Amino acid sequence: MINEKETAGQNIPYIAGITLIATLGGLLFGYDTAVISGAERSVQMYLVDSLGLSTWVHGATISSALIGCIIGGAVSGIFASGIGRKKTLIIAAFLFFLSALGSGYPEVLFFTKGEPSIELLYMFNFYRIIGGIGVGLASAVCPVYIGEIAPANLRGRLVSLNQFAIIFGMLVVYFVNWGISNGQPIEWINEEGWRRMFLSEAIPAGLFGILLFFVPESPRYLSMVNRDEEALKILTKVNGANRAKSIFSDIKNTVEHHSGKLLSYGKTVIVIGVLLSVFQQFVGINVALYYAPRIFESMGAGKDASMLQTVVMGIINVIFTVVAILTVDKWGRKPLLMVGSIGMAIGMFAIAGLSYFEIIGISTLVFIILYTASFMMSWGPICWVLISEIFPNKIRGKAVAVAVAAQWAANFFISATYPSMMEFSGAFTYGFYGVMSVISFLFVWKMIPETKNRSLEEMEQLWRKKAGLAPEKQAKAKA
C-alpha cells in the first residue's frame, strides 16, 4: 500500500504511466528470452539434428541471443550516456521488432524455406543475437530509467515492477506458445508453429516503440548534459515543486564534482555490482526458464502437458514477484535476497537428490516451484533494484553496463553448458546450482549494503566514505 503522507505532492498517476511504458522493455526482455522455450525442440530438429550437428551446437543455438545480450549490456552505458535513456530504449524496441520477424522466417531474402543449411543456422543465430542486443540494452536501461525517475520512497516497488514485467512477459509467451501448439500435430509445430512463436513478439515490440515517444527523458541524464530547465520541470511534475528543488540540488552537486571515471569511487562498488549480477545467473534460474518444457517432459509429462505445466510455473513466478514488489520497500533488499538464497538452495539440493536416485514425479515439480518462487521473490527483482540504486550518478551508465554485461556473460555460460552438464550428471548439475545459492547467501550477508529509503545521492555518499575520499571533498560536494 502507498502511504499518503510519504507521497504528498507526488504525481502518482504520471509516475505510474511512465513506469508502465518503461516496463514494456522488461516485458519484451522476458518475452524474447522465454519464447525459445516453446520453439527449442523444433529449432533443434530443423537446424541442428537435420545437419548432424552436436549437442553443444544445440545449446549454443538456444543460447545465442545471450551473445547479443552481452553486447547490448556492454554498450548500454555508451548509448545511455551518449544519446540518453529514452533514445536507447527506442533503439532496443526496433531491435526486438527486427528479431521477431527474422527469427520466425530466417530464410527471408537469402534462403529457401524448408531447406536447412549451415548458412541458415548462422542467419537464425544472427537474428536471435539482434534481439539479444535489444534485451541487453533494455535490461540495463529500463531499471536505470525507472530508478532515476522514481522518488526514493517508491523506487524499490517501481523498479521491481520491471522484474514483474519480465516475468509477466515470460508468462504471456508461455500462454502464446501453448496456444499455438495446443492440439496441433507435432509435424505442424516443427514446420510452422515455432515460427509463429517468434513472430508473435513483433506486436509488443511495435507497441513499446510507439509509446516511448510519449515519455520524458531521465532528469538525471538531462542534468548531466546541462539541460537543467528540462530536468527541473520533470522533477517538479514527479515530486512537486518543493521536493524537486532539493532533489535537483543534490543531483547537480553529484554531477558537477566527479570525473565520471569507472573507478572514481573505488573498486568495491563495481565488484559488488558484478558479483550481484553473476550470482543471479549462477544459481541456474535461466535453465529452468529456457528448458522448462523439456524438464517437465523428462518428468513424464506429454507435449501438451509439459507446455501447460510451464504456464503453471509462469503463474507461480508472477505471484511471487508480486510478493517482492509489496515487501521490498518494507522489509528491505538484503532480507529478501537472503531468504531467497535459502529457498533456492533447498530446492536445488532436493532436485539434485531426486535426480541422483532417479525419482521423477510430483515431488520434483514441487521443488522446482519452490526454487523458482524463491528466486522470483528475491534475486529476480531485487538484483535489478540494487543495480539501479547502488552506483553513483556520475558513473551509473558505465557501471550498470559492466554489471549487465557480466550478468549476460554468466547467463550464456550457464545456459550453454546445461545440456552437456546434464549428459554428465543431473545430480551434479543441480547440486552445482545449489552450492551457488549458498554462496550467494554469504555474499549478500557480508557485502551488500541496505539501500531501502536511501536516495541515489545518499548511496553516493556511502561509497565515497568506503573509498576513503577526503572529508573536505565530501563537504565540497554538499556545498
Sketch the domain layout of the chain as residue ranges: 13-215+258-478
pLDDT at 302 (0 to 100): 54
Counting DSSP H helices and E strands in the chain, the numbers are: 24, 0
d(Cα 114, Cα 199) in Å, to the nearest integer? 17
DSSP 339-379: HHHHHHHHHHHHHHHHHHTT--SHHHHHHHHHHHHHHHTTH
pLDDT at 479 (0 to 100): 30
pLDDT at 474 (0 to 100): 41
Q: What share of the chain is helix, strand, coil (3-state, %, to 5)?
A: 80, 0, 20
pLDDT at 304 (0 to 100): 56
Q: What are phi and psi of 319, to 5 degrees?
A: -60, -45
d(Cα 250, Cα 397) in Å, to the nearest integer? 18
pLDDT at 471 (0 to 100): 39
pLDDT at 291 (0 to 100): 59
d(Cα 417, Cα 291) in Å, to the nearest integer? 12
Locate all alpha helices (DSSP H) within 150-267, ordered by sequence.
152-181, 186-188, 194-199, 202-211, 219-224, 228-239, 241-256
CATH superfamily, with its number, for domain 13-215+258-478: MFS general substrate transporter like domains (1.20.1250.20)
Element (H, E) at 23: helix 12-34
Sites in the chain below the pLDDT cut of 50: 1, 257-259, 470-479
d(Cα 217, Cα 16) in Å, to the nearest integer? 15
Burial class for 8, CB neighbours closer than 10 Å (0-12, 13-18, 19+)? exposed
pLDDT at 259 (0 to 100): 47
Written as one letter, the residue type at 246 is: S
Burial class for 200, CB neighbours closer than 10 Å (0-12, 13-18, 19+)? buried
